[in-house]
Amino acid sequence: MGWRPSYEVGYRILGAAREVFARQGAGASLKEIARQAGTGSATLHRLFPSRRALLQAVFHDRVEDLCAMAAQRAKDSEPGPALLAWLRDLNAYATASRGLAASLLHHGRDADLLEQNEGCQAMITSAARALLQRAQQTGAVRPGILAEDLLALINAISLATEHHDDDEQANRLLDIGIGGIRGQAAQSPPSPGSEG
């Protein structure tokens, strides 16, 4: 049972790191994260030897959550709405994370970190691809779009709005993107009397 305290403390640190990184960005104080987790800096550094190790753990944790959300969306909704709802989930995470993923991808230089990032990227791409293929099969999303295109769109929105506190801009940009990916079957004709 000696592992349990470290396991529980590690989860508390990850929870605190999620909140603090979301508020303050990737350069947030590790001391503040340890304080919020109710532990000391030495314990944080023992479990997560570097800032990048902690960022990676938070990122991987969130990617697993997003993949689980994709599976749940697929189960709960028709293919088109499931994909669009999940893109909104992903956009909300990307907006709230304040560039954590970009920080990892651009500043991670050691081979192990890059390999782990590629694992996260493969997981999220696979989740996006499964939703996209179903949506394309029903005509809700036009053909020719790749899962990587959708992820690049979300990343671009995140980068464009990274220094703004206005989440509404990220939502508006996603709405514009969604308008561009809809298939013919998903395009609703203008209602009678509406302007072109």
72/136 same-domain check? yes
Instruction: Tell me the per-residue pLDDT of 17-44, one tens digit each, with 9 for 90 and over.
Output: 988 887 777 778 999 999 999 999 999 9
Q: Is residue 69 domain-resident?
A: yes
Domain housing 35: 1-49
176/103 same-domain check? yes
- Overall size of the chain counted in residues: 196
Handedness of CA 120, 14, 67, 149 (dihedral sign): negative
| Burial of residue 73 (number of CB atoms within 10 Å: 0-12, 13-18, 19+) | buried
100/180 same-domain check? yes
Instruction: Tell me the per-residue pLDDT of 95-141, one tens digit each, with 9 for 90 and over.
Output: 777 655 555 444 444 444 444 566 778 889 999 999 999 999 999 99
107/39 same-domain check? no
At 110 the pLDDT is 40
104/17 same-domain check? no
When divided into structural domains, the chain yields a total of: 2
CATH number at residue 142: 1.10.357.10
Q: Is residue 103 domain-resident?
A: yes
Say which range, 68-72, 159-163, 164-168, has the weakest mean pLDDT: 164-168
At 24 the pLDDT is 79
5/97 same-domain check? no
Q: Is residue 196 domain-resident?
A: no
70/29 same-domain check? no
57/31 same-domain check? no
CA separation for the pair 30, 88 (Å, rounded): 30
Q: Is residue 192 domain-resident?
A: no
% residues pLDDT > 90 (the chain) = 43
19/92 same-domain check? no
Q: Is residue 38 domain-resident?
A: yes
Q: What is the pTM of this model?
A: 0.72
